[in-house]
């Protein structure tokens, strides 16, 4: 058989290193998503309250994390904050922190959108049986909002996972970073190593992200069916 | 001696500059059925919603059983356990089963023991003939069934006053009768005090002890039920009755 | 009373957000920016030196298939750690964040093919150089360019933004330049006979001709020399002086010849001598 170059994946420790990089990627995405989604739910609820100052602060928070590119956020938290604020975190923690804060910002908007799209008469019926504001959120608004927001949340998750590919910029040994070192180390011996290594990384991201996006589509279809009942 | 349940004195309400309720004064006694009539946009729904704290108002005094109501969130919340309300839109909570819908108020707001609340809910379901639907979700019910459940969800709190805001307006004609029969039975058999906004004239005639006729936010007349339908006091009410189907 | 409840909630929210921003998941907020975290004494007390290296630039700093970091810079890095009697922690950087890594206290020392320039001297302190590079010109063996005069009125390939482009634009106006955006493009252009030769850093060209034997680096050095040196954070006199002494000692011991033989020679082939790359004793 001709040298396709696929052997580059299995040379020495290459495969184990790619998997190790993938584990780093998944660990960071997982922690960031758990913290970010939980915080985002709280912030989203707070953004539906009447307090104007609070709403403005949270709005600014959202816009900051939405407008500033993730690359810049990573640089800011990894390189700038240690200089100006004296906060010097290891790269992996910076990655989790930045991604969690970003997820929380985006999630707060999803949650807020879902909460305000629960029909007003649902809220009034809740008030009419004497529920207080907390009970209203707990039993009526949040459960209904959650089913509205699941597709958007899953899309957010796939975006966050994809964006972890930026982490090599702050020296995190994620799967892309490891892949790049393998490509450069083997480019002489295997001119096609770029193809195989990035192909492998593509498959890995696909394996993680596709089920999520499939699930999102399915949930969305189910929700539409329910609405049309 | 009859006991006064709710009284309204000199109630004024504006939406921005529009004067939607103009110097409204009336009261309702225990066991009485008051029907609010009037053309669309006359302020009937606004008035009945104001009675339950769903609409803010600018001035006037509201009293429940002789106690002046403090129009803040806490004051209204306490009162809403004693005033049941059913709306025009199907307003069951779609994320909860029929049983959970009914139990939410009694168990979470009134902190009744679950088994007692559940026994009462079962009894109420039986009364309206929907026992077999306890564990289904609202989306599996017809409009009429949903409104019957909404009524017993309000009754489960054992209110002293019921407010019905055009509860049959969104229903298909064949569903209307069942819902109205439940309200009639509640009025006649259980002597429930109630304020009803409706466009069903025969029904209004059948249950009204008193009719309040509103137009443009003004209370034009307050007349005993039978008398209103046979001999209204104002020309406007006369015209209104003539334009309606019976 | 509703207001006070909302105030409590909003206060809570602001505290949560600020708390997250300031402390994060792990808190080491005591590191102040002005303190020099990278003096020799502090490194030795810590027991670890943090060195910024490349991970994707063979043969200077890269990762072999066993997963080990190797290369000309890496051998030096290990020797430095050994002589400081500390362990070593590598932080992989790319060309754009070498300066930031130092300034943000992420590393103590940069050993990442860092060329000394006047602009960079403003923001970091360079120690004595351990390697020299200059512009070279590669050409086909059957039409070798040995002298810059042969290039007059001929096409020469360069990559935008390189030292080679600057040098030929300013000092050799009679040479026609064909400019490209990437290394891949420039070498393809040469193979397609678009020009008489191609100019780039000579160390880079040596490695390329090793794999393209029809070509040779006919002009090994032209124009000003550039130097590759270790860098420390601006003002870190302690580590700077130590590193200067270290480079001096290692140079006199012949350390860099050995480093050259083990890391660079296999990539450069026989036409290159160690003295083309490393500095004189």
Mind listing the pLDDT tens digit for each residue in B106-151? 999 999 999 999 999 999 999 999 999 999 999 999 999 999 999 9
Q: Which residues of A touch B139 (CB under 8 A)?
A: 226, 229
Q: Which residues of A touch B110 (CB under 8 A)?
A: 130
pLDDT bucket at C1, cuts 50 / 70 / 90: very low
What is the C-alpha separation between A70 and A161, in angstroms, rounded? 13
B81 touches chain A (CB under 8 A): yes
B77 touches chain A (CB under 8 A): yes
Assess whether C189 and C249 both reside in one domain. Answer: no
Task: Looking at the complex, report in whole angstroms how far the Cα of residue A150 sits from the nearest Cα belonging to chain B.
Answer: 15
Alpha-carbon torsion, ordered A123, A124, A127, A128, to 10 deg: -150
Contact yes or no for A17/A182 (Cβ under 8 A): yes
Partners of B37 in the β-ladder:
B213
Query: If you compute the radius of gyration of chain C from its CA atoms, what whole number of angstroms results?
Result: 24
What is the C-alpha separation between A178 and A197, in angstroms, rounded? 10
Q: For strand C61-63 and strand C56-57, is the pairing parallel, antiparallel, or unpaired?
A: antiparallel
Phi, psi of C263 (to 5 degrees): -105, -40
pLDDT bucket at C24, cuts 50 / 70 / 90: very low
Assess whether C55 and C92 both reside in one domain. Answer: yes
For position C28, what pLDDT does the model report?
Answer: 41
What is the C-alpha separation between C59 and A194, in angstroms, rounded? 18
On whether residue C9 sits in a domain, the answer given is no
Distances (CA, A) of B74 to A33, A121, B64, B77, C150: 37, 20, 15, 5, 94
On whether residue C5 sits in a domain, the answer given is no
Q: Which residues of A touch B93 (CB under 8 A)?
A: 122, 125-126, 139-140, 144
Assess whether C124 and C233 both reside in one domain. Answer: yes
Q: Determine the average pLDDT of the residues in A31-59.
A: 94
Q: Which residues of C touch B72 (CB under 8 A)?
A: 1-2
Read off the CATH number of the domain in which C95 is found: 3.40.190.10
Say whether B105 and A131 touch across the interface (CB within 8 A): yes
Read off the CATH number of the domain in which B27 is found: 3.40.50.300
Q: For strand C197-201 and strand C155-159, is the pairing parallel, antiparallel, or unpaired?
A: parallel
Say whether A229 and B139 touch across the interface (CB within 8 A): yes
List the single residue in B with minimal CA-CA distance to A124. B54
Range of the domain at B143: 4-221+237-243
Q: Determine the average pLDDT of the residues in A177-188.
A: 83
List the structure tokens of C1: 């009373």
List Cβ neighbours of B148 (8 Å cut-off, separation of 6 or more).
B128, B129, B130, B178, B179, B182
B72 touches chain C (CB under 8 A): yes
Say whether A129 and B157 touch across the interface (CB within 8 A): yes
Which of C34, C60, C104 is the best residue to mutate to test the A interface, defined by the most A CB atoms within 10 Å of its own CB?
C104
Total structural domains within chain B: 1
What is the C-alpha separation between A160 and A170, in angstroms, rounded? 16
Q: Determine the average pLDDT of the residues in C182-202.
A: 89
Task: Looking at the complex, report in whole angstroms how far the Cα of residue C12 sits from the nearest Cα belonging to chain B.
Answer: 22
Asked if residue C33 has pLDDT above 50, the reply is: no
Q: Identify which has the larger pLDDT, A84 or A47.
A: A47
Q: Which residues of A touch C66 (CB under 8 A)?
A: 12-13
| Least-confidence region, from A37-51, A199-213, C22-36 | C22-36
Distances (CA, A) of B88 to A49, B146, C84: 27, 11, 82
Q: Which residues of A touch C24 (CB under 8 A)?
A: 87, 89, 93-94, 97
What's chain C's average pLDDT?
Answer: 86
For position B89, what pLDDT does the model report?
Answer: 85
Assess whether C138 and C222 both reside in one domain. Answer: yes
Partners of B18 in the β-ladder:
B15
In CATH terms, the superfamily for domain A6-228 is MetI-like (1.10.3720.10)
Say whether C28 and A89 touch across the interface (CB within 8 A): yes
Asked if residue C7 has pLDDT above 80, the reply is: no
On whether residue B175 sits in a domain, the answer given is yes
How confident is the prediction along chain B (246 residues), in pLDDT tens digits per residue? Answer: 578 999 999 999 998 888 899 999 999 999 999 999 999 889 999 999 999 999 999 999 999 999 999 888 888 998 998 999 999 987 899 999 999 999 999 999 999 999 999 999 999 999 999 999 999 999 999 999 999 999 999 999 999 999 999 998 888 888 899 899 999 999 999 999 999 999 889 899 999 999 999 999 999 999 888 899 988 889 999 989 988 876
Q: Give the three-state DSSP class for C152.
A: coil
Instruction: For C40-91, write each residue's pLDDT tens digit.
Output: 999 999 999 999 999 888 899 999 888 899 999 999 999 999 999 999 999 9
On whether residue C32 sits in a domain, the answer given is no
Compare CB distances from A46 to C9, C21, C26 and report the shortest one's residue.
Answer: C9
Give me the interface pTM, i.e. the ipTM. 0.89
Say whether A132 and B77 touch across the interface (CB within 8 A): yes
B73 touches chain C (CB under 8 A): yes
pLDDT more than 70, % of chain C: 87
Touching partners of B (3+ C-beta pairs < 8 Å): A, C
Range of the domain at C208: 133-226
Work out the burial of residue B17: count CB atoms within 10 Å of its CB; fewer than 13 is exposed, 13-18 middle, 19 or more buried: exposed
Q: Determine the average pLDDT of the residues in C180-188.
A: 82
Q: Determine the average pLDDT of the residues in A30-45.
A: 95
For position C20, what pLDDT does the model report?
Answer: 54
Say whether B108 and A139 touch across the interface (CB within 8 A): yes
Alpha-carbon torsion B14, B17, B18, B19, what sign? positive
Q: Determine the average pLDDT of the residues in C208-212.
A: 87
Say whether B94 and A144 touch across the interface (CB within 8 A): yes
Asked if residue C5 has pLDDT above 80, the reply is: no
Q: Determine the average pLDDT of the residues in C164-180.
A: 92
Q: Which residues of B touch A132 (CB under 8 A)?
A: 77, 109
Total structural domains within chain C: 2
pLDDT bucket at C30, cuts 50 / 70 / 90: very low
Number of A:B CB contacts under 8 A? 67
A125 touches chain B (CB under 8 A): yes
What is the C-alpha separation between B210 and A165, in angstroms, rounded? 73
Count of Cβ atoms closer than 10 Å to residue C86 Cβ? 18
For position C36, what pLDDT does the model report?
Answer: 81
pLDDT bucket at C12, cuts 50 / 70 / 90: low
Q: Which residues of A touch B104 (CB under 8 A)?
A: 129, 131, 139
Assess whether C168 and C211 both reside in one domain. Answer: yes
């Amino acid at each position: 058989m001709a040298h396709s170059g696929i052997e580059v994946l299995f040379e020495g420790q290459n495969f184990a290193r790619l998997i190790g990089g993938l584990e780093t990627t998944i660990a960071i995405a997982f922690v960031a998503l758990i913290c970010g989604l939980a915080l985002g739910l709280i912030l989203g609820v707070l953004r539906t309250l009447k307090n104007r100052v609070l709403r403005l602060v949270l709005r600014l928070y959202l816009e900051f994390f939405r407008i500033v590119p993730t690359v810049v956020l990573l640089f800011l938290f990894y390189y700038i904050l240690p200089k100006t604020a004296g906060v010097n975190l290891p790269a992996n923690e910076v990655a989790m922190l930045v991604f969690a804060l970003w997820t929380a910002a985006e999630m707060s908007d999803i949650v807020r959108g879902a909460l305000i799209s629960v029909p007003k008469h649902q809220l009034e019926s809740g008030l009419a049986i004497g529920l207080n504001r907390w009970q209203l959120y707990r039993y009526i608004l949040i459960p209904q909002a959650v089913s509205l927001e699941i597709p958007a949340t899953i899309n957010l998750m796939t975006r966050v996972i994809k964006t972890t590919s930026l982490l090599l910029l702050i020296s995190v040994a994620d799967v892309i970073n490891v892949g790049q070192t393998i490509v450069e180390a083997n480019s002489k011996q295997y001119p096609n190593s770029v193809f195989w290594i990035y192909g492998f990384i593509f498959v890995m991201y696909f394996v993680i992200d596709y089920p999520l996006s499939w699930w999102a589509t399915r949930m969305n279809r189910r929700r539409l069916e329910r609405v049309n009942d | 001696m009859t006991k006064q349940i709710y009284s309204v004195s000199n109630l004024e309400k504006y939406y921005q500059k529009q004067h939607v309720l103009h110097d409204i004064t009336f009261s309702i006694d225990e066991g009485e059925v008051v029907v609010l009539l009037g053309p669309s946009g006359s302020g009937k729904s606004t008035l009945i919603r104001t009675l339950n704290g769903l609409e803010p108002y600018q001035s006037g005094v509201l009293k429940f059983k002789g106690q002046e109501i403090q129009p803040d969130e806490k004051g209204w919340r306490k009162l809403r356990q004693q005033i049941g309300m059913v709306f025009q839109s199907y307003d069951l909570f779609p994320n909860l089963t029929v049983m959970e819908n009914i139990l939410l108020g009694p168990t979470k707001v009134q902190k009744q023991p679950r088994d007692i609340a559940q026994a009462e809910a079962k009894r109420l379901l039986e009364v309206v003939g929907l026992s077999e639907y306890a564990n289904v979700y609202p989306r599996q019910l017809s409009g009429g069934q949903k409104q019957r459940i909404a009524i017993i969800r309000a009754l489960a709190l054992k209110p002293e006053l019921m407010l019905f805001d055009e509860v049959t307006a969104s229903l298909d004609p064949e569903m209307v009768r069942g819902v109205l029969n439940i309200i009639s039975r509640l009025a006649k058999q259980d002597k429930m005090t109630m304020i009803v906004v409706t466009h069903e004239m025969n029904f209004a005639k059948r249950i009204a002890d008193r009719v309040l006729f509103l137009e443009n936010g003004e209370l034009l007349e307050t007349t005993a039920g039978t008398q209103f339908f046979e001999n209204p006091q104002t020309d406007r009410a006369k015209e209104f009755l003539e334009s309606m189907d019976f | 009373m509703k207001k006070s409840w909302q105030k409590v909630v909003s206060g809570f929210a602001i505290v949560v957000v600020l708390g997250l921003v300031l402390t994060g998941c792990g808190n080491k907020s005591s590191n102040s920016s002005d303190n020099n975290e990278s003096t020799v004494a502090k490194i030795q007390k810590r027991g670890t030196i943090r060195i910024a290296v490349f991970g994707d630039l063979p043969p200077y700093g890269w990762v072999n298939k066993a997963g080990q970091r190797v290369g000309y810079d890496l051998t030096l890095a290990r020797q430095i750690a050994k002589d400081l009697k500390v362990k070593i922690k590598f932080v992989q950087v790319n060309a754009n964040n070498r300066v930031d890594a130092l300034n943000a206290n992420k590393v103590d020392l940069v050993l990442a093919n860092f060329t000394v320039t006047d602009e960079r001297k403003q923001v970091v302190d360079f120690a004595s150089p351990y390697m020299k590079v200059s512009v070279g010109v590669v050409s086909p063996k059957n039409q070798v360019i040995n002298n810059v005069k042969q290039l007059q009125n001929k096409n020469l390939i360069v990559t935008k933004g390189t030292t080679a482009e600057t040098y030929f634009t300013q000092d050799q106006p009679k040479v026609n330049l064909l400019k490209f955006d990437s290394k891949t493009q420039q070498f393809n252009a040469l193979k397609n006979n678009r020009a008489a030769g191609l100019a780039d850093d000579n160390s880079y060209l040596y490695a390329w001709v090793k794999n393209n034997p029809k070509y040779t680096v006919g002009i090994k050095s032209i124009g000003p020399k550039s130097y590759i040196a270790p860098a420390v954070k601006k003002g870190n006199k302690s580590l700077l002086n130590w590193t200067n002494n270290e480079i001096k000692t290692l140079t006199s011991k012949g350390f860099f010849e050995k480093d050259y033989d083990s890391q660079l020679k296999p990539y450069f082939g026989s036409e290159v001598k160690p003295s083309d790359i490393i500095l004189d004793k």
